């Protein structure tokens, strides 16, 4: 390290006899090779106390004695060259230079003739930065004065391994990128790191040389240098020989460490390799495919973006790990760019498709759902499957009592007008409670709660909607009755359970609707109202889901047409706590009668149901049970009777 002169105020350049002293010392230490990264093309300057010729002769003689000294040449382009200095060594006289790939033509600046004569070899010291100014690679050979000259480190390697020209050319083409006449350097780090080369001050070696014959306590013992390759070059800032490398960061490294790094790579076969162009294309295709698959299979856009970014980070870390562990460079920039581009393209396509999907959803459901539910559906479109999906939901069926009789009393135009008014009122209430209006069937309405978007408390919402329809319909009928207009008394059946929802129909006519036993039971319960003279009947499953928010009266244990399994059914009276004293008294007595009825105590049950009629003469459910009790007293049920009443009407 030629840095000590700055501290000791020693003039630069050093007297060359200093190098002679150091060379002799290194020779005694049995250094394997000594490589000067110093320009010796000019003559020694005269000094007051040192003869320039004598100093040069001492250095030239030391070079000859050592027989292991390597010197550098400096390159000049033909366009700039005005001189053609003597170059005594011709490494490759038998090779046709014009047939060797990618060799650049240069003129050169060479060491003095007396130095060349004793040198073991000469190589060019120039390094060629990439476009960003970073040193990453070096040419193996350049064409200089009709001779192929190797880079300094390659010249040392050739000599140490006694390679002839053909062997060296075979070797150079066998290393990564050697067929392109360049070598990608495998950097070890900067000089402050423990893993890089050991530095000694030139002054320390010089002092050790002067001490050699006087003391055994040397600053630099022989065994430190024995069998080592010694590079000598400038590290002082004033010499302007610091170069940026990929690992040097803000602190650039001396030029001689670049050559030491290259030689270390060659000696240890510590090469950097990288994937081929074909492999890069394959990686691009795979990265693009994975990115697309992630984006269009992960349902949540945010999660898709996070997954893709994670994929990009994992690929980047994998590439870095592959390099540090095995010295293999996997393409990073192109695949990462592909991931980003595909992410952007996928995002644009998704946005366009999402907009189209939103319009389609609005078109399909605008007739069935409230605007708020439609917005929820658009925000979570993945929750709906048009192809068919099993869900747990609540079905609402309503029908107008005695509609046939009503239609006979009014003109078609008047009937349709008031029927539409009725539908509008009911539909508004259903949508208010976030139902999906499934269809109108004559004077009937079918609606779904908890579809197409799952909703907590859908059974309770259905019950509240039914109660509100009855309440509003009462006011509607009172007004119409005063005006001799149609009076619509509705019967409602509600059931909760599993059903299939989806687009059902033909290619020319599709409806998003629900099918299944749960749907059929709701329709049957609407008809059961006829039997008991009630307005709203709910199933056991609906009651269990909504019981904390409603008041009911247990009606019966029945099996309906098309369904063998019997179910408990309940009359829906009102919201929790919202029940009149008459309704509560009626329910309590009725419940006592049901208990007696199921215990086959039909005379006592008949008596209790008569008490219900005394309290509430308009209670048709009690009247129905009185009739049932009388029949069962005449024709008693079998011993294994389970209390199930078979309702065979639709």
**pLDDT, tens only, 263-319:** 999 999 888 887 777 888 888 888 888 888 887 777 677 787 888 888 888 888 888
The model's pLDDT over 523-559, given as tens digits with 9 standing for 90+, comes to: 999 999 999 999 999 999 999 999 999 999 999 999 8
* Residue 407: CATH number of its domain: 3.30.70.1230
> What is the per-residue pLDDT for 194?
47
Average pLDDT of every residue of the chain: 84
Q: What pLDDT band is residue 11 in, cutting at 50, 70 and 90?
A: low
Residues 165 and 202 in one domain: yes
Quick one: what percent of the chain has pLDDT higher than 90? 38
| Sequence-ordered alpha helix ranges (H) in 298-381 | 301-326, 333-365, 371-379
CA dist 473 and 326 (Å) reads 81
> Is 60 exceeded by the pLDDT of residue 219?
yes
Residues 65 and 206 in one domain: yes
CA distances to 88, 151, 469, 575, 587 from 579, rounded to whole Å, are: 118, 102, 17, 8, 10
Residues 330 and 412 in one domain: no
The range of the structural domain enclosing residue 238 comes to 4-268
* Number of continuous H segments (helices) and E segments (strands) in the chain: 21, 22
Residues 56 and 167 in one domain: yes
Outline where DSSP puts E strands in 480-575.
490-505, 510-515, 536-539, 550-560, 567-575
Q: Is residue 586 part of a domain?
A: no
Q: Is residue 374 part of a domain?
A: no
Residues 536 and 565 in one domain: yes
Q: What pLDDT band is residue 362 in, cutting at 50, 70 and 90?
A: low
Q: What pLDDT band is residue 359 in, cutting at 50, 70 and 90?
A: low
> Is 70 exceeded by the pLDDT of residue 63?
yes
> What is the per-residue pLDDT for 191?
47
CA dist 436 and 445 (Å) reads 11
Residues 254 and 334 in one domain: no
Residues 8 and 83 in one domain: yes
Does residue 371 contact residue 492 with C-beta atoms inside 8 Å? no
Task: Provide the residue count of the chain.
Answer: 650
Q: Is residue 53 part of a domain?
A: yes
Rounded to a whole number of angstroms, the CA Rg of the chain reads: 49
Whether residue 452 has a cis bond before it, omega within 30° of 0: yes
CA 180 to chain CA centroid, nearest Å: 39
Count of domains observed in the chain: 3
Q: Is residue 369 part of a domain?
A: no
Q: Is residue 547 part of a domain?
A: yes
> What is the per-residue pLDDT for 452?
79
Q: Is residue 425 part of a domain?
A: yes
CA dist 580 and 324 (Å) reads 82
> What is the per-residue pLDDT for 32?
94
Residues 160 and 262 in one domain: yes
> Is 60 exceeded by the pLDDT of residue 383?
no
CA dist 43 and 60 (Å) reads 12
pTM for the whole structure:
0.54
Q: Is residue 367 part of a domain?
A: no
Mean pLDDT calculated for residue range 224-248: 83
CA dist 267 and 258 (Å) reads 14
| Sequence-ordered alpha helix ranges (H) in 447-571 | 458-482, 517-532, 540-546
Mean pLDDT calculated for residue range 457-484: 92
The model's pLDDT over 429-449, given as tens digits with 9 standing for 90+, comes to: 998 998 988 888 888 999 999
Which of 268, 283, 317 is the last residue before a domain boundary?
A: 268
3-state secondary structure 204-219: HHHHHHHHCCCCCCCC
Residues 24 and 149 in one domain: yes
The model's pLDDT over 154-204, given as tens digits with 9 standing for 90+, comes to: 999 999 999 888 888 888 888 887 778 888 888 876 544 444 788 888 888
């Amino acid at each position: 390290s030629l840095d000590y002169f700055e501290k000791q105020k020693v003039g630069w350049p050093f007297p060359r006899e200093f190098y002679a002293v150091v060379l002799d010392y290194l020779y005694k230490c049995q250094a394997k090779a000594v490589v000067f990264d110093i320009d010796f093309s000019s003559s020694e300057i005269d000094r007051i106390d040192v003869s320039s010729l004598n100093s040069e002769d001492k250095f030239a003689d030391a070079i000859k004695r050592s027989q292991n000294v390597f010197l550098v040449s400096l390159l000049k382009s033909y366009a700039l060259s005005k001189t053609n200095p003597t170059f005594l060594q011709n490494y490759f006289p038998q090779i046709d230079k014009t047939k060797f790939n990618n060799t650049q033509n240069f003129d050169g600046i060479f060491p003095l003739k007396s130095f060349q004569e004793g040198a073991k070899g000469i190589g060019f010291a120039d390094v060629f930065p990439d476009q960003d100014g970073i040193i990453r690679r070096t040419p193996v050979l350049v064409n200089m004065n009709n001779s192929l000259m190797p880079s300094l480190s390659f010249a040392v390697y050739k000599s140490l391994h006694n390679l002839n020209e053909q062997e060296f050319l075979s070797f150079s083409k066998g290393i990564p990128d050697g067929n392109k006449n360049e070598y990608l350097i495998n950097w070890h780090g900067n000089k402050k790191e423990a893993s890089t080369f050991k530095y000694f001050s030139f002054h320390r070696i010089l002092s050790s040389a002067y001490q050699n014959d006087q003391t055994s306590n040397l600053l630099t013992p022989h065994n430190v240098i024995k069998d080592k390759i010694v590079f000598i070059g400038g590290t002082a800032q004033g010499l302007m020989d610091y170069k940026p490398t990929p690992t040097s960061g803000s602190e650039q490294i001396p030029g001689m460490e670049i050559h030491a790094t290259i030689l270390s790579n060659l000696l240890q076969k510590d090469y950097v390799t990288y994937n081929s162009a074909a492999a890069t294309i394959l990686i691009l295709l795979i990265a693009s495919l994975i990115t697309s698959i992630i984006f269009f299979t992960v349902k949540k856009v945010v999660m898709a973006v996070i997954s893709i970014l994670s994929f990009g980070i994992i690929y980047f870390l994998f590439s870095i790990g592959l390099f540090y562990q095995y010295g293999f460079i996997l393409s990073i920039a192109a695949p990462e760019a592909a991931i980003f581009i595909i992410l952007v393209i996928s995002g644009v396509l998704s946005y366009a498709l999402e907009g189209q999907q939103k319009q389609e959803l609005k078109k399909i459901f605008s007739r069935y759902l409230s605007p708020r539910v439609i917005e929820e559906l658009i925000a979570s479109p993945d929750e709906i499957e048009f192809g068919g999906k099993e869900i747990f939901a609540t079905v609402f069926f309503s029908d107008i009592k005695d509609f046939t009789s009503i239609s006979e009393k009014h003109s078609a135009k008047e009937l349709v007008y008031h029927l539409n008014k009725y539908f509008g009122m009911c539909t508004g209430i259903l949508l208010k409670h976030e139902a999906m209006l499934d269809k109108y069937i004559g004077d009937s309405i079918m609606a779904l709660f908890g579809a197409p978007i799952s909703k907590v408390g859908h059974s309770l919402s259905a019950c509240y909607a039914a109660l509100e329809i009855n309440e509003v319909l009462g006011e509607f009928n009172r007004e119409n009755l005063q005006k001799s207009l149609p009076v619509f008394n509705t019967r409602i059946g509600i059931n909760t359970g599993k059903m299939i929802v989806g687009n059902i129909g033909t290619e020319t006519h599709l409806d998003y609707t629900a099918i299944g036993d749960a749907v059929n039971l709701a329709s049957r319960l609407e008809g059961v109202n006829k039997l008991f003279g009630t307005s709203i009947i709910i199933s056991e499953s609906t009651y269990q889901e909504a019981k904390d928010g409603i008041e009911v009266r247990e009606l019966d244990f029945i099996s309906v047409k098309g369904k063998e399994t019997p179910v408990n059914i309940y009359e829906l009276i009102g919201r929790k706590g919202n029940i009149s004293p008459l309704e509560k008294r009626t329910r309590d007595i009725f419940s006592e009668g049901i208990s007696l009825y199921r215990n086959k105590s039909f005379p006592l049950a008949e008596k209790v149901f008569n008490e219900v009629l005394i309290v509430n003469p308009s209670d048709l459910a009690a009247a129905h049970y009185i009739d049932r009790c009388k029949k069962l007293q005449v024709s008693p049920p079998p011993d294994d009777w389970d209390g199930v009443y078979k309702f065979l009407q639709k």
